[in-house]
Amino acid sequence: MNKNPQKPNQNSKNSNKASIMGFQIDPSFIQAAEHRPKSTISDAGSIPLIDLSPLLHHDIHSDPSDPTIPNEISSLITAIGAACRDWGFFQVVNHGIDPQLLERIEAVAVEFFALPAEEKRKVKRDEVNALGYYDSEHTKNVRDWKEVLDLVIREYDDGLLVLKNRWPEYPPAMRETCEEYIAVVENLSYKLIELIALSLNLPAKYLNNFFKDSSSFFRLNYYNPCPTPNLVLGVGHHKDSVALTVLYQDQVGGLDVKRKSDEGWVRVKPIPNSYIINVGSIIQVWTNEKYESVEHRASVNSEKARLSIPFFFLPTFSTNVKPLEELVSDENPAKYEEYNWRDYFSSHLGGNFKKMDKEDIQISHFKKTTII
């Protein structure tokens, strides 16, 4: 496996440059001073590490009060619940996905991003169809230092929102490898969402129906070496608006998570063949903030390219997101107004393409000002 891929031969970041600290860099990449990464970020005291090997030997029971649930599974449910509550992030090992498949998905991703710019732009996304290759994405109105390829597991077109996969011709194994990978990661996502449901004292499959004909999508992120890593970010600080993110990363590292306990940034140390899981804003609303989405970002470095592959587990577009009835009460009333997932998703697309005059809609906009 190529752990240190070469920088692709492309010129997408070479226009409209400004001279900053002796380097030529487009000022649209420059983060505000308060958001720039420090030169050193500790990986000490990082996110919980959870062993999923009990799932290789035991089924997930439906009833959280079932006395026959094996102790290993009960301990796993408890650990995931604690990680969701205290961190909003955790890392999993022994998840059952073939390491050789991880090698193959990494290899085709690196091969694609190494293509000439004109070849990658044959599958470039646009404002009609937001899927495909892109190298000018913005997070919170600042350009990200990355290239991406976005794909959905189910195409969608309602006349206004169009999501049609653009499969590149090269590398030839791209489509087959991605489709095989997506199938197994979606299966892992269902297992995780069932464990999360059980940790909330809900039936294991309580949340599954939200994901029938899901709008889940899959992304390849490629972060080129950057001459000024102290000024830019691969992805700016943000919270995921999804239900659950299941992320594979190579061994370069660069994912930073903000600790809930003290709001300090910690670097997630890469562990071979592991996945990083984070709670998204949809789960935050469903659980009425028992589990919260946590701010994170992607830092870059000046020496090595980095690859990450997130799978965003999402409900069907028709879903109206609101706190679950079982998790609200007179003592803990609903903290959010209901919102439609398709409308929310669509409203975010414009801000991905260019700098906007106002902030994207966030779930905070649906927070009740007066809780009755």
90-106: pLDDT as tens digits: 999 999 999 999 999 99
The position carrying tokens 């998905």 is: 105
Residue 48 DSSP code: -
Minimal CA–CA distance to 45: which of 306, 354, 260, 330? 260
Beta carbons within 8 Å of 74's beta carbon, 6+ residues apart: none
The beta strands (E) that lie in 94-229 are given as: 132-134, 138-139, 142-143, 147-152, 156-157, 162-163, 217-223
The per-residue pLDDT for 39 is 67
Is there a contact between 195 and 279 (Cβ–Cβ < 8 Å)? no
Mean pLDDT to the nearest integer, 323-337: 96
Domain locations in the chain as residue ranges: 48-366
Residue 352 confidence (pLDDT) above 60 = no
Q: Which residue has the higher pLDDT, 359 or 242?
A: 242
Options 2.60.40.150, 1.10.10.10, 2.60.120.330, 1.10.3720.10; which CATH number does 48-366 get?
Answer: 2.60.120.330
Per the prediction, the chain carries an average pLDDT of 90
Q: Which residue has the higher pLDDT, 40 or 275?
A: 275
| pLDDT tens sequence across 16-61 | 444 444 557 888 989 898 899 886 677 767 899 999 999 999 999 9
The per-residue pLDDT for 14 is 42
Residue 3 DSSP code: S
The C-alpha atoms of residue 257 and residue 275 are separated, in whole angstroms, by 15
